[in-house]
Structure 1
Amino acid sequence: MSEQDLFKIETNNTVGRYSVASQDLKPGDVIFKEAPFAYGPKSDSACVCLGCHNPVDCATLCSKCSWPVCGPQCEVLSVHKDNECDVFSNAKVKFQAVEDPTDVCLQYECITPIRVLLEKERDQKRWEEEVSVMESHNEQRKPKPIWEFNQHNIVEYLRGPCKLDRFSEDLIHTVCGILEVNAFEARTPNCYMIRCLFPKLALMSHNCVSNIHHAVDCHGNGNLKDCVVTVRAAIHIPKGGELYSSYTYSIWPTLVRREFLRESKFFECACPRCSDKTELGTHMSSLKCQRCDNGVVVASDPLNDLCEWNCTHCDYKTHGGAMRKVFAAIQNEIDQVEYVGGHEGIQQRETIFRKYKSVLHPKHAYMTILRSALIQLYGKAEGYTLGDLPDVILERKMELCYQLLEVLDVIEPGLSRIRGITLYELHGPIMMHARHQYQYDAISKDDFRQKLKESVDILKQAVEILTNEPVSQPEGQLGQMAQTAYDQLIENFDMLVETAY
């Protein structure tokens, strides 16, 4: 731990090693920064350049190892040149041509494990102190299909054709497990996903309501030192308070979060949010009762996936298996429109929103997911830019933002990325709507001034969050835009009030 790190490691018999604040932390305080031990393609990756990790068509191959790269500038990046490039070229293992480079390519499964193994040889001290102590859950993984998959696609491939038999089968399986359980997703500057092994970040305990926020700045320059995670306090954390990260998507319902954690991280989450049938009052898993007017259907025992679900007002009941099918069906509908943008994307999401409005609690996870997407489409999609929106749509966008913020106050409190984006998306419609109301004589000049001040204050909060994001990432770039907009609004505030009518 460096002098700047504001946490310390403790141990107990129940959870093993965990991290606590070594002093009182304020929201935004940097707890630590860390370069990854290794990084590389995700599991189930399509074909990517082994230098910058951008998608490739596989037409250009490295002149030394004959694996896909963007070109000469990428084949010399150290992340490739000093790792698998040497291995493949020495063993004369060439990339096998594929029909569709956008499909999952199993040849890439070995890349990140190779990089971890070679970094172990280069930095034995960090391996022993930080990486070897990570959980691999080998015993839990052995009966699962992933073990046999790794045996064939990684272990046998590395020890056979790649001539890396100096690494034992057990070690390679352990590395695979460490990556599966502990790696964090990150984005390249072009927003393509990779996985990074950050040992300190992996020490943070899981909680479905985290109190820290991490942001990865990966410049795509092919060096470990050019990829850094910054971990900050999201809320006030007292000295000695445990530091919590979330290993899953916070906006999922409890059934889905716990299933993901069970299957991928090999533990049963029993955090306060998972243990509460109302999800800390958000009702992100609750359904409206179809038999009575005011009833809400909630799990009788949220830590039992097969428990009964009961109405709070009548005798209606169902079971966890049925609820899982309902959630899966709704998730499938949302997944179908994930990459649909513009007018069509708005209309399709609004259709799903209306379809389930009478079925799901207003703050349900899937309503929340739809709100998050719609907030960013209204104001940006063609024909729906902020200046084009009529008051009824401006009001719709504001309503969606406020409803989302109510949920985020509970499940992602403090300085979270999604909160910063939502605040940024909120300030514009408040300003535009107030201007229209003033021009229609629906509000007074003083009221308009107050609304404009509200918009500026909300933008200031967005700036405080988003300017902590790396400028290599979209949120950091949005933070720069927000800062410029805020500075201009402050400078021209009085003029905006005087000329708005």
Structure 2
Amino acid sequence: MTENLKEKFIIEKNDKVGRYTVASEDLKPGQLIFEELPFAYGPKSDTYCMCLGCSAHVDCTNLCSKCSWPVCSTECENLPVHKDNECQVFANANVKFQSVNDPSEICLQYECITPLRVLLATEKDPERWKTEVQIMEHHNEERKKRPIWQFNQTNVVDYLRGPCKLERFSEDLIHTVCGILEINAFESRTPSGSMLRCLYPKLAIMSHNCVSNVHHAIDCAGKFDSKDFRVFVRSATDVKKGEELYSSYTYSLWPTIVRREYLRESKFFDCTCPRCSDKTELGTHMGTLKCQKCDNGVIMSTNPLDNTCEWKCTHCEFKTNGVAVRKVFAAIQADIDGVEGLFGAEGIEAREALFRKYRSVVHPKNAYMTILRSSLVQLYGNSEGYTVDDLPDLLLERKIELANLLMEVLDKIEPGFSRIRGITLYELHAPILILARHQYQSDLINKEALEKQMKEALHTLGKAAEILKNEPLSTPEGQIGQLAQMAHQQLTENFDLMVENA
């Protein structure tokens, strides 16, 4: 996966935003800009009990023979990420893991692990700490005013300097490390499905935009050493030399009022990007509601950069405010969270029920309808009893409709080479192909129309393969990308025969 290419960005600085990156040459979609190893990585805050080697979920019955903290096995206790970091500290200080009643619940004992790994990395690689990491944003002065400061004081600072006997790390340094992690870390998934946070100094320099022009993919090879979790940063769209490179620090499918709230609370800035500044969210209406007082009106913010401003109907005199709208969105999100763990037929039926429940409340392309569409597109065709070959024509049409409406939104907010666009295109190609064959066999379309629809499926599959080809094979998206490339080649080679035998 490693590509030894010259980095295609330069770092610039101004008084308004500080450091930021621009393209050092013209970039095409999918082009590698740089790759980077994390300075450190480890458990997220508020995590459940996990192996300190491979990060898999554990029941805490197996403990490391040296430090007595949870691991899966002797093999895991000897993985470098654990053996060369906290294991030595805990063993030397005789700090043992305290048993818990439910390993699946949040375990505060893990709060210290990733900050500790960063602190130890400052000693192992002082040059990188000094030149890349120490200068990252931490917002200590603002964080001191929030509950997180005392939380870290108790669960990280006092624990490391007290029982762990790490007085060599000052309170100020430990708080700074906590701040750097909270504001700059990126999430990554392990092969077991656990989510970790990784610190990438170069990637973190990139400014935020709610419509990013770069895409990053993290490769977890499963070695859990200093060479694992390499990130590959690529252009998502065409970028001209000298144009700023933008990452995204938030979830693109959230509406503006939710994204801005998250960025203010977690990243300490108010986003004023073009998407946030537009009442229609670039024409997607992801934050728009339907008016309940008239037939044709929709309710939009009068000032999307003010979360408490007035929201007005476009056709009648109805008014509300951002606080009330936020409560509506929170209620919908709670309902969606409630079905998040449901899959198969049950998951499909639960999400379709929510779709029906809220279609009279929010705009058809509202963020929460988009989130439901994204889930349903992947469930239809990939669930027991609902495999793509099982689906009747009515549900094939439903999957196609869901995917096409989702793509209309993604083309605006996730343009170019993004994982969600690649996955959606992959999910779209098969129902187009199968439905065309069914319609031809039922004499609903002629051979010319059949060939046209099959070419559409081929093109859709090819685009999916092109987008996903650079995803690491250690990820589900990378594995789907490999399947897409093989399927595209096979369909291309046998296209005429498939049309003839339809």
Give TM class, smaller chain: over 0.9
2:182 corresponds to: 180
Q: Distance in 2 between matches of 1:285 and 1:3?
A: 41
> Secondary structure of 1:443's partner?
coil
SS at match of 1:231: strand
Query: Which residue in 1 is equivalent to 2:121?
Result: 119
Q: Which residue of 1 aligns with 2:416?
A: 414
Query: What's the CA shift for 1:255?
Result: 0.9
**Corresponding position of 2:23:** 21
Greater Cα offset, 184-193 or 106-115? 184-193
* Secondary structure of the corresponding residue to residue 395 of structure 2: helix
Q: Determine if contact 1:191/1:473 at 8 Å carries over to the other structure.
A: no
Post-superposition CA distance 1:52-95 (Å, at most 9, x none): 11111111111111100010111111110110000000000000
1:338 maps to which residue? 340
The equivalent position to 2:172 in structure 1, one of 170, 173, 179, is 170
Please list the CA deviations of residues 94-133 of structure 1 after superposition, one character each: whole Å capped at 9, or x if unmatched.
0001111100000000000010000000101100111001
Q: Distance in 2 between matches of 1:460 and 1:180?
A: 39
Tell me if structure 1 keeps the 8 A contact 2:62–2:70. Answer: yes
| Cα drift, residue 224 of structure 1 | 2.1
Instruction: Verify: 1:225 aligned to 2:252, yes or no.
Output: no
Deviations 1:297-318 (A, max 9, x none): 0001111111000011211100
The SS at the match of 1:224 is coil
User: In terms of mean alpha carbon deviation, does 431-440 or 215-224 score higher?
Assistant: 215-224
1:235·1:413 contact (CA, 8 Å) conserved in 2?
yes
Is residue 319 of structure 2 the alignment partner of residue 317 of structure 1? yes
Match for residue 357 of structure 1 among 349, 356, 359: 359
Shift of 1:498: 1.4
Partner of 1:65: 67
Instruction: Measure, in 1, the Cα distance between the counterparts of 2:320 and 2:466.
Output: 45
RMSD of aligned alpha carbons: 0.9
> Which whole-Å CA distance do the structure 2 matches of 1:74 and 1:190 have between them?
13
SS of 2:227's partner is helix
> Shift of the alpha carbon at 1:190?
2.1
SS at match of 2:230: strand
Deviant stretches of 4+, over 4 Å:
none
Partner in structure 1 of residue 106 of structure 2: 104
Q: d(CA) in 2 for partners of 1:75 and 1:479?
A: 33
Q: Which residue of structure 2 aligns with residue 270 of structure 1? A: 272
Residue in 2 that maps onto 1:33: 35
Task: Please list, as runs of the form range in 1=range in 2, the aligned pairs for 1:373-452 lying within 5 A after superposition.
Answer: 373-452=375-454
% same residue:
67
Which residue type is aligned with residue 113 of structure 1? P
2:84 counterpart residue number: 82
Deviations 1:257-312 (A, max 9, x none): 11111111111111111111111111000011122222110001111111000011
Q: Provide the rounded CA distance (Å) in 2 between the counterparts of 1:475 and 1:222.
A: 21
> Which residue of structure 2 lines up, in the alignment, with residue 55 of structure 1?
57
User: What is the match of residue 213 of structure 1?
Assistant: 215
Alpha-carbon deviation of 1:168? 0.3
Secondary structure of the residue aligned to 1:386 is coil
Mapped to 1, the partners of 2:392 and 2:81 lie a distance apart of 50
CA distance in 2: counterparts of 1:396 and 1:360, whole angstroms: 20
Q: Which amino acid aligns with 2:410?
A: L
Note if 1:238 corresponds to 2:240.
yes
Letter aligned with residue 425 of structure 1? E
Gaps of 5+ in 2: none
Structure 2 SS opposite 1:125: helix
TM-score (norm 2): 0.98
Counterpart of 2:174 in structure 1: which amino acid?
A: I
Which has the larger displacement, 34-43 or 183-192?
183-192
* Per-residue deviation, 1:3: 6.8
Equivalenced residue count is 499
Equivalent residue letter for 1:23: E
**TM superposition score normalised by structure 1:** 0.99
**Is the Cα contact below 8 Å between 1:49 and 1:69 reproduced in 2?**
yes
8 Å Cα contact 2:55-2:192 kept in structure 1: no
Partners of 1:77 and 1:493 lie apart in 2 by 49
Q: Is the 8 A contact 1:88 1:162 kept in 2?
A: yes
